[in-house]
Amino acid sequence: MLKAKVYNQSGEVISEIELNPNIFEIPVKESLIQQVVEYLRSQSQQVLAHAKDRGQVRGGGKKPWKQKGTGRARHGSIRSPLWRGGGVTFGPNAERNFSLKLNKKMKKKALFMVLSDRAKADVIMILQKLELPESKTKEMIKLLQVLNLKKGTLLVIDKMNENIVRAANNIQGVNVITVNSLNVIDTLKANNLLFTADALKELENVFLKEAK
């Protein structure tokens, strides 16, 4: 069974904890992880480009000239894509939907796989307790220094704490996330994962209770 070291806020190792094998010892399937990454990216993709088709451009309510007798080609509306200022054929549309579908079980399984990979790489640390009486950045920097953590640290807490979030906001490369928001992309990007002990318990409560 994989273990992780438990630290106090002074950076001292006070114990070791066994990581739940149902979360941290799942065989990794890269294809599933890739599928979930693509799904998450599709959810955040914004559709900005938009070109008006012939039904959306202004004008063209009247036939430009009569059908016959002018010697010119027949036209029904200046909204036609053939005209300058007319609609665009097959242009980008703001109503496009890039989102993919993926069931909840697959997302959870992929997250467990990434956490398992991180546990094997020994980049998961447990903090016995995280208490910041004030939202001071220097307090968070001090904590990261004693734990020897640098850029690319993902701090996972059990529930939203404004003091902790504000203290970490100004530190480049350090992100704070609650257990409920933990996802594959943020976990993959992180060089180090720092869980509070309460967050580790909450991780089991949230994800393993759903499986029962």
186: helix, coil or strand?
helix
pLDDT tens digits for the chain (212 residues)?
788 999 999 999 999 999 999 999 999 999 999 999 888 887 776 777 888 888 888 888 889 899 999 999 999 898 998 898 898 988 888 777 666 678 889 989 999 999 999 999 999 999 999 988 788 899 899 999 999 997 889 999 999 989 899 999 889 889 999 999 999 999 999 999 999 999 999 999 988 875 54
**Domain boundaries in the chain?**
3-44+100-211, 46-97
180: helix, coil or strand?
helix
190: helix, coil or strand?
coil
What's the maximum distance between 2 C-alpha atoms anywhere in the chain? 96
Distance (Å, rounded) from C-alpha 114 to C-alpha 28? Answer: 7
Distance (Å, rounded) from C-alpha 3 to C-alpha 105? Answer: 25
The 3-class secondary structure across 117-133, one letter per residue, is: HHHHCCCEEEECCCCCC
Class of domain 3-44+100-211: alpha beta
Distance (Å, rounded) from C-alpha 125 to C-alpha 81? Answer: 61
Distance (Å, rounded) from C-alpha 88 to C-alpha 199? Answer: 52
Contacts of 80 (CB under 8 A, 6+ apart): 54, 60, 86, 87
The pTM assigned to this predicted structure is: 0.75
